[in-house]
Amino acid sequence: MNVYDFDKTIYDGDSTIDFYLYCLRKRPKILCCAFRQCRGILLHKMHKIDTTAMKEQFFSFLLKLDNPNALVDAFWQKKQKKIKQWYLQRKDASDVVISASPAFLLLPICEKLAITEPIATQMDIATGSIQGSNCKGEEKVRRFYARYPNAIMQQFYSDSKTDTPLANLAQTAFLVQGNTLLPWK
């Protein structure tokens, strides 16, 4: 099985930021959450709150959306083209996407790509509250083995060295820089 990070790996950009900006254009009223979002980011930068708490504050805009699922679907209608060509040429139904992005955001695109359900941060789409921990670093390893206890990871792809714990599990790992795949060192 091959395992992929999502943002900046197989998706050209950060899907969370792109989704937020998409929602902001479609539902400008979510701008009323900007103070809470900026406060959360600032507190995180000051090491006063963890990433999970910061993400919950950032995703507070979900509370202002009437039908967030419809916005997610419309978002992927427009942004599916940002899936990188190198990935589309090699994708397989057994591929696993593992990401810190919210599962509600990644599930529709994984379905469109005909790949397995992603392992991602479990977030309530109505409230932005996170169930459990943010899916990053060692948490990705824990969740990977919870779902696939005896799996052998042939290849792993990520744009970030924070994924070194997963890269160390793979027979071969690649660092993705744009559309370039480099051996993981």
Backbone angles phi, psi at 172, to 5 degrees: -140, 135
**Residue 157: is its pLDDT beyond 90?**
yes
pLDDT tens-digit readout, 64-87: 999 999 999 999 999 999 999 999
* Number of residues in the chain: 185
For residues 36 and 59, the answer to whether their CB atoms sit within 8 Å is no
Q: What is the mean pLDDT of residues 99-118?
A: 96
Alpha-carbon Rg for the chain, nearest whole angstrom, is: 16
Interhelix angle 34-45/51-58, rounded to 10 degrees, is 170
Residue by residue, DSSP assigns 84-153 as -HHHHHH--TT-EEEEEEEHHHHHHHHHHTT-PPPEEE-B-TTT--BSS----THHHHHHHHHH-TT---
Q: Which long-range contacts (CB under 8 A, 24 or more apart) does 109-116 make?
A: 109/11, 109/15, 109/76, 109/80, 109/83, 112/76, 112/80, 113/83, 115/91
Instruction: Say which amino acid occupies 101.
Output: S
Q: What percent of the chain has pLDDT over 90?
A: 98
User: Is 2-183 CATH 3.40.50.10490?
Assistant: no
For residues 155 and 173, the answer to whether their CB atoms sit within 8 Å is yes
Residue 182, token pair as written in the block: 């480099």
Binned at pLDDT 50, 70 and 90, residue 185 comes out as confident
Strand, helix or coil at 175? strand
Binned at pLDDT 50, 70 and 90, residue 88 comes out as very high
Spell out the domain ranges in the chain: 2-183
Per the prediction, the chain carries an average pLDDT of: 96
Longest dimension (CA), the chain: 48
Provide the whole-model pTM. Answer: 0.94
